[in-house]
A and B are shown apart, each in its own frame.
Chain A
Amino acid sequence: MTSPLPPSANRFGWLRDLRRIAFFMSKRLLALFVTVMIGVYLTIVIANMGGQVDELRELQIRSTISEQVRADPAFMQMPSEERSELIETQVLMEVQRRNLDQPFFVRSIDYLRQAAQLDLGRAEEMHSDTGAREVYDIIVERLPATLLLFGTANLLVFFVSVYAALYLSRRYGSRADRAVIALAPSSAAPAWFYGIFLILFFAFLAPVLPPGGMVDIPPPDSRWEYGLSVMRHMVLPVTAMFFSSIFISIYSWRTFFLIHSSEDYVEMARAKGLPASLIQGRYILRPTLSPIITSFALMLIGLWSGSIILEQVFNWPGLGSLLFQAIGYRDTPVIIGSVVVFAYLLAVTVFMLDILYAILDPRVRIEGGS
């Protein structure tokens, strides 16, 4: 029997795999970079309304400066013509300082270059809790709060639902299975909807948990008590998020596993008399790991941005409420900065996902690069 492929193709299998992975990865990296830049540029254009925000800014500068000059007792005696001149020169200086005299296109490219270097500039109105005006500081200050809350809730939902789904897929049609199907529509309501009721019940009618915020005021001194206080504050929002997505998540994973456990190779494994744990691990989970990891990564991506309404409802100092406030203040640098950070995190997540795919699935590893 002659083999259709040369035997040498296999001898350096891992080397071949590695070379293909490297090629595949660099291609993906380039594509991701271009995608992120396009996304960030679009945000810059939109957040500046294609340059129209500049006019607003100039008006704002003018009114601020004229107010300052008028209110300054040093200029009280000045004739009004001279005063107007002074105002004009000051406005011009400020406009030049902020590069507002250059065409918007030139500045937009400039913004993009800075954004690519994570130089997010200074906020116009907002500042961090420590008083910093740097957009980067403001965002970095909010990021941990969002990650803590959404990370906890989403990881909980993910792992609980995958395990529950595996369990249910072996007990198709059981009472528990039917209960989950019946409860799945509960996820039609968003997390904040459940949040409102949870606050009503557990913070006001039976005040056992705090209604919002991230930590007691004033914050406890000892680290232990601080951590405990944060955990107490997390209970309600995490419960709201968990409850709003757990049933639909179990339901969809259960259906996913049911479909995949009727594959021929799973039936073959059953006929081979392999123990159930091996079938579950090697024949159901491993071939389906790519879609599972994808959904996990999509969950992570969703996590970076937080949730605007849920954070508002629970008064949680995260990225979602930051963005909400920034939009309210029309603080363009903060809006753009949030998007830039989000885009970068998203690109990193997608890139890691690509590497994982290649490791997990030989079909991607071997065919994808050639």
Chain B
Amino acid sequence: MAEPQELVRVTGLKKHFPLTSGVFRRTVGAVRAVEDVTLSIRKGETLALVGESGCGKSTTGRLLLRLIEASAGELMFDGQDIRTLDRRALRTLRRDMQIIFQDPFSSLNPRMRVCELIAEPLKFHQLARGRAEVEAEVDHLMNIVGLAPSHRDKFPHQFSGGQRQRIGIARALAVRPRFIVCDEPISALDVSIQAQVINLLAQLQQDFGLTYLFISHDLSVVRYVSDRVAVMYLGRIVELADTAALFEEPRHPYTAALLSSIPVPDPSLERKDRVILTGDVPSPSNPPSGCPFHPRCVHAQAICRQEVPALRTVARGSGRPGQVACHLAEDLDLQGIPTTEASA
């Protein structure tokens, strides 16, 4: 098969959190956390979802897993519409999709021992029967993620951040999922530990054929781990392309601004014309008309204030495909980062 198979397909996904006020909880508005997200994730790839805090990255990840119910849109997983699944079917689905959380200090129940934490999904989904089998599987999982099985009786607070994240990974891996949402899995860790966890995730992807949705705001990490990148701004995807194409030839002014904010370790390579964004991200409860980025965009034209640009396929100089939601994508000359520059 020429085209790699799709594992996840999201169409027109929306999530509006209602805002209420007064004694009677009248709905006075909505936080449009996710506003029309369409993307697909191919089997075995890592799709990175990047953007500023509050742009809806994490909400999107949780919507995919149905940890939060979507307001509108279609969610397909391996050809199955998962928004219509009942409670039972959803429970079975949990074996296929898992999540790794950002903060390893709050994502593990402090009252459970490591062995209980890792054994819980095994027992719940009856993936291992009998005490001996469960214990063997727990030891196996601890080995896989690089934890000594002798720590099995300890509590989470007796571990470092990196070790805790490994426990979280083992717990996610226990059900042998095919798809894992990594919700900023390393941003709460010490820099010295980040690389270890990233390499572990890469190794696991290779060994188990995992598909990742890698949510992050750290572009240097994204560049290192992902096959494709989706850039989100105010609940919308503004650009989606292969990692190299996106970094070298950004087609959306917001992507260019993000790229220009990546610190360069070599001062002699200091970029001259940095794009510095002014102002704040608009409130998702009161988004601007037209293109959500126009109030901060230096290239904004009249059309940007009126019409929401659709995500469309735009050719790049090198011919690599990608999708951009910008009226002016063809006309702008945006600066990327050459591949020769240092990466993570």
* Real binding pair: no
Give the A-binding residues of B (Cβ under 8 A): none
